[in-house]
Amino acid sequence: MTWPTVRLEEISEINPRLGSVLDEGDEVSFLGMADVSEHGSTSLGMSRTYGEVKKGYTAFTDGDLLFAKITPCFENGKIAQAQLEHPIGFGSTEFHVVRADEERADARYLLHLIRGPEVRSAGQRRMTGSGGQQRVPADFLRSIQIPLPPLPEQRRIAAILDQADELRTKRRHALTLLDELADSAFEELQTSSAELASTHSLEEIGIWRSGGTPSRAVPEYFVGSIPWATSGELNSMFIRTTKELISESAVNQSAARYVPQGALLLGMYDTAALKSAIAAIPMTCNQAIAFGVLDEHKALPEFVYFAVQAKRAEVLLLQRGIRQKNLNLGIIKGITIQVPPLDIQRVFLAVIDQINSLRLSFLVGISHSDELFASLQHRACRGEL
């Protein structure tokens, strides 16, 4: 059935005023951008007094929709329904707030629609500003077209999408448990092999270099077949694909360097510092990545991957800079780890291989549930669900 279409501003308030009268000592919930997940939910927030947050923050109520307006948070999908410990919340000024008109619109229904890929794609085209300060304007939110069935039908659709999303959440949680299992296996290895291990810097067990970025003023540099990784892509244990490809001439005429299969890649800049991955294919990388070709007679990449991650908090204290905190190649080379004999590392690798096999099967399941959810979401946006 085809439902009438309305603008979001017709069935909700965009960035409404607080409305409630609070005393200075009243407790409210505070949410930073990190408290809003990329999967449509929030944490309960931290308890603060109204006096602490009444100036310089965005006000909202429990159940409001929070819409991250700044790049890259918006592109990453930080659009969620606030689930607070207290009735009133405050948070980042980089949130737009959407408050559903309860007589006409169901908040969960609206959440699923404004999280849809069509809305996010259109929002990226409407961003204003430059560089890392681009934002989605409130006028874009007001103009979003929403199919509007009767409230009972909205709730039925929202319930279907909630169930499909819950399946995705459970599968992602299972993946998290596998990651915790791998970390536990590494901790057990460290404990059991402590007397046999020796201390080495990363420089002592491999050859380390950093990459480079070809000039974007030469378009043909980015028309090729050679994978070129950025530090933002070091999101899993193995990196198999990259968003961009470069040409042979780009490698020959820039600081970009070949990264052999099996090399360990470590991010160095800002929030990507010490993000890690192992090159599953030959590739190249930019200057924000340090990559090491390890001595196969001393250490296995998979072992060093976990050893470096175990020291992440310690190493990040070494970041330097004022506006942006970075590591550098010298700091990377100086990281020290405990390295047990190769035969013990291989036993650990066998455990990790089993865990990674399970990961792949879980990832396939997540992919299928993502496709199902996207299909349902698309049909809901078109008034066809």
pLDDT at 165 over 80: yes
pLDDT at 150 over 70: yes
Distance CA 276, CA 290 (A): 10
Q: Do domains 5-148 and 198-339 have the same CATH topology?
A: yes
For 263-301, the pLDDT digits (tens) are 999 999 887 889 999 999 999 999 999 999 999 999 999
Mean pLDDT of the residues in the chain: 90
Burial (CB count within 10 angstroms: exposed 0-12, middle 13-18, buried 19+), residue 55: exposed
Q: What own/partner pairs with CB < 8 Å and gap ≥ 24 does 114-122 have?
A: 114/8, 114/65, 114/67, 114/79, 114/141, 114/144, 115/40, 115/77, 115/79, 115/377, 116/377, 116/378, 116/380, 116/381, 117/374, 117/377, 117/378, 118/378, 118/381, 119/144, 119/381, 120/74, 120/75, 120/77
**Considering only CA atoms, which of 270, 289, 286 is closest in space to residue 227?**
286
Mean pLDDT of 125-135: 82
178 — phi, psi (to 5°)?
-65, -40
pLDDT of residue 175: 82
Superfamily assignment of 5-148 in CATH?
DNA methylase specificity domains (3.90.220.20)
pLDDT of residue 271: 79
Q: How many helices (H) and strands (E) does the chain have?
A: 11, 21
pLDDT at 1 over 70: no
User: Domain map of the chain by residue range?
Assistant: 5-148, 151-176+184-192+340-385, 198-339
CA dihedral 106, 109, 114, 115 (to 10 degrees): 140
List b or e across 291-312, with b for residues whose CB sees 16 or more CB atoms inside 10 angstroms: bbbbeeebbbbbbbbbbbbeee
Q: What is the DSSP letter of 96?
A: E
For 182-240, the pLDDT digits (tens) are 889 889 988 999 899 999 999 999 999 999 999 989 999 999 999 999 988 998 899 99
pLDDT at 104 over 70: yes
For 43-65, the pLDDT digits (tens) are 988 999 999 999 999 999 999 99
Task: Please enumerate in sequence order all residues whose Cβ is within 8 A of that of 150, keeping only pairs 6 or more positions apart, or say none.
Answer: none
Query: Topology of domain 198-339, per CATH?
Result: Adenine-n6-DNA-methyltransferase TaqI; Chain A, domain 2 (3.90.220)
Burial (CB count within 10 angstroms: exposed 0-12, middle 13-18, buried 19+), residue 261: exposed
Q: pTM of this prediction? A: 0.64
**Considering only CA atoms, which of 22, 42, 21 is closest in space to residue 31?**
42
pLDDT of residue 132: 62
Distance CA 101, CA 7 (A): 13
Q: Which residues lie across from 307 on neighbouring strands?
A: none
pLDDT at 180 over 80: yes
Report the length, in residues, of the chain.
385
For 295-354, the pLDDT digits (tens) are 999 999 999 999 999 999 899 888 887 767 889 999 999 999 999 999 999 999 999 899
pLDDT of residue 131: 61
Q: What are the tokens at 4? A: 């009438």
Q: 199 near 336, Cβ under 8 Å? A: yes
Q: 74 near 104, Cβ under 8 Å? A: no
Q: 255 near 211, Cβ under 8 Å? A: yes
Distance CA 109, CA 380 (A): 9
**Considering only CA atoms, which of 246, 286, 243 is closest in space to residue 265?**
286
pLDDT at 91 over 70: yes
Side chain identity at 164, as an amino acid letter? A
